[in-house]
Amino acid sequence: MSSTEVTAARVSDLSSTYDVEAIRADFPVLRQNVHGKPLVYLDSGASSQKPRTVIDATVYYYEHDHSNVHRGVHTLSQRATDAFENAREKVRGFINAASDKEVIYVRGTTEGINLVARTYGDANLKQDDEIIVSEMEHHANIVPWQMLCERTGAKIQVLHFNDAGELDMHEFDALLSDKTKVLAVTHVSNALGTVNPIKDMTCKAHAAGAVVVVDGAQAVPHMQLDMQDLDCDFYTFSSHKMYGPTGIGILYGKEALLDAMPPYEGGGEMIKKVTFEETTYNDLPHKFEAGTPSIAQTVGLGAAVDYLDAIGLDNIAAHEQDLLEYATACAAKVEGMRIYGTAKHKASLLSFGLDGIHPHDIGTILDFEGVAVRTGHHCAQPVMQHYGVAATTRASFGMYNTRSDVDALFTGIEKVQQTFAR
């Protein structure tokens, strides 16, 4: 039995009806107390927990199949290679890419964006070209473009958002010109939850002659993706946000663009032939995968895809939308609570502040109540600057959360306010 067969055997038991308690039972980490209270994990936006199928697939690989991938003729190497490439095909289907050549393994979203900026950007941008970057981006979708501008003389044009957390589409239309070469935008804001109209923005950017790079880290665990429908040029995301292992992610890119781009790193695997006179690079996708890859993590990613497919992204989205609506209604009853990000189209997170109370204090008291949230600027300092705050508290919901978890959050918030009222 292979690691793939182990995963298939487990996910086949999942019911077609969304059963959140059955799902919760699949996540061993949730069966614990923190400070004597049952763990309420509301930090999936930072990193999601892992189901037993993912853990088992990774362990099985190490116990039975581990070897380096590709080129090996012995049995373990062939099994490892099969598991590694089967995961790529699973991801291809998961995002509906046209070919597995368009699915590049990277360490995560950050490396995916840096790869595009370093390869496509360095080869195609020049002095006074423009890159549109939205104000709501994670630092990982800002800094690589700033570095590209330093190397090439290109310029960043900032696309702002309104106080509801929605991009100013009139400004977007005005910013687009024949100087626009790249649009870098998040699909879902990690700090606000806003779901941006990627398909429409891509269409307009293409009409102006620009390529579109999408940070999909916060979108992939919450919604069904279709690269051929979105039509963006590059889309990147991380396994650990979608219930898979850390240290592995995906860069999707259109085959023609990837084929024309130079390699990102040099070394083994990304070559066909090496002499001291000349090196011939490998075909896609291996041209961008230098060195020994994160094999076990990739097998785990494949298991995470199986798990999400078995439950259904539409079912997950409906469940999480119910949680968001319930939590938003609860928040409306809390005096002195402000929600940052009230976009019409929004993923399942609440970023908030409490009058007169620092987010770090909020997070600390909630932790003693067993409630795990994220506090700080969320690697999105321009978002904080927009609202004139240094930090927010963020509760982000996943497929395993319940209304009882939301109740625990607001019971904890009441405790926070009582503590600071003394």
Q: CA Rg, the chain, in Å?
A: 22
Taking Cα atoms as reference points, which of 287, 245, 237 lies closest to residue 266? 287
Give the Å distances, CA to CA, from 198 to 85, 97, 215: 29, 16, 10
Query: Could you give the CA distance from residue 223 to residue 9 in angstroms, rounded to a whole number?
Result: 25
Of 149, 232, 330, 379, the active-site residue reads: 379
Q: Round to whole Å and give the CA distance between 322 and 47.
A: 21
- The reply to whether 232 belongs to the active site is no
Distance from C-alpha of 202 to C-alpha of 185, rounded to nearest angstrom: 10
Per DSSP (E only), the strands in 60-179 are: 103-106, 130-134, 155-159
The enclosing H or E element of 142 equals none
What kind and span of H or E run contains 371? strand 371-372
Phi/psi of residue 315, nearest 5 degrees? -65, -40
Closest CA to 220 of 339, 96, 329: 96
Catalytic residues: 379
